[in-house]
Amino acid sequence: MRGLRHLSSGFVSNVTPSIEEKIGQGLLLQRGHPINTLKMRIQSYFGDRYSVFDSLSPHVTTQQCFDDLLVPRDHVSRSPSDTFYVNPEVCLRPHTSAHQTEFLRRGETNFIVFGDCYRRDEIDASHYPVFHQVEGVRVWKQADAGSSAEQRTAFVIEDLKHTLEGLAKEVFQSEIVLRWNEDYFPFTHPSLELEVAHEGDWLELLGCGVIRPEILENCGLQNHVGWAFGAGLERLAMRLFNIPDIRLFWSQDPRFLEQFKPDEVTKFEPYSKYPPCLKDMSFWTPESFEVNDFYAAVREVAGDLVEKVDLIDQFQHPKTLRHSHCYRITYRSMDRNLVNSEVDQLQEEVRESCSSKLGIELR
């Protein structure tokens, strides 16, 4: 793939130039940007009792990000098909949970962390390889939370639910309908997710739970209990500001940026929706094919001009047993009309780049 860098010992980083460009852009701190406005709302809800960290480097160790959080050795989130690795020990944080243990070790008992997070993923209106999360953590001495293990767990969950329902109401500042579901995370037990009713559907707001005691013990917090939560900001902001496509958060277009004022929530007025241009691409996949490598390769060539990529057909050849995939790439610019010749050229570059880098055979 373009931009792969060969490091010593044969390790190949999967951080592409278009991802590198995003590091340090600082949307969280850009006054007036919807991501900053949402951050400020969340921050004001938690108030002075919580320490706030919002400028931590996204480069974290696999120790912080996975091992300290009891993520199993074979968990998919560790795989280079899901996570961006700078070297075998350092990755771009796929979640702000990567900072939990460093602050617990430092003796922080109430804190929130905002950060840009990075994940290799599919391509559509609500998935982008860079997004933002807020993490919150609160711990108590066991003795302050109840006299039996059951009592303490119930105490922590009650505080967690109360805190997060309050957060959702503060963020949306309107009548909302919420529901709790059981969930699973390696670092919390029990684990829950909070959803909000949205346009006849349920939208996931956050994941959370009671911090596993081993994690606290490893941070020198024997005889403590606590909760943690993590929420994605884009999804909330899309709903709050009526922003239809996640790529818009990265737009430099004044027609986007100038619509928003610091600390004000206003509905986005689409300046126009330019027409999409669809191109299909079929190929035989090699044994080792990873679809996220394909998405990354498409994005490396077409950047933010690619709106989504859908698998529309696949089959296995009855004799050769080879697999064929057909993908539909939707190209659309947020800012202007794309001309056909330009998209044809892009598609040609995508095809060339994929065939030379992914070992696929174009059909």
> Using CB under 6 A as the criterion, which residues of the chain lie in contact with ligand PHE when the complex forms?
95, 97, 135, 185, 188, 207-209, 228-230
- Token output for 361: 């055979």
Kindly state the smallest distance separating residue 220's Cβ from ligand PHE, in Å. Answer: 20
Nearer to ligand PHE, 189 or 351 (CB): 189
Nearer to ligand PHE, 183 or 290 (CB): 183
- Between CA 205 and CA 196 the distance in angstroms is 7
Cβ-closest position to ligand PHE: 230
Kindly state the smallest distance separating residue 100's Cβ from ligand PHE, in Å. Answer: 7
* β-strand pairing of 51-53 with 110-118: parallel
Kindly state the smallest distance separating residue 178's Cβ from ligand PHE, in Å. Answer: 17
CA dihedral 62, 63, 69, 74 (to 10 degrees): 50
- Is 261 buried (19+), middle (13-18) or exposed (0-12) by CB count in 10 A? exposed
Nearer to ligand PHE, 155 or 289 (CB): 155
Kindly state the smallest distance separating residue 69's Cβ from ligand PHE, in Å. Answer: 8
Nearer to ligand PHE, 92 or 297 (CB): 92
Nearer to ligand PHE, 34 or 94 (CB): 94
Q: Which amino acid is at 211?
A: I
Nearest Cα to 194, choosing from 202, 216, 146, 318?
202
- Is 40 buried (19+), middle (13-18) or exposed (0-12) by CB count in 10 A? middle
| SS3 category, 329 | strand
- Token output for 261: 């004022």
Kindly state the smallest distance separating residue 251's Cβ from ligand PHE, in Å. Answer: 25
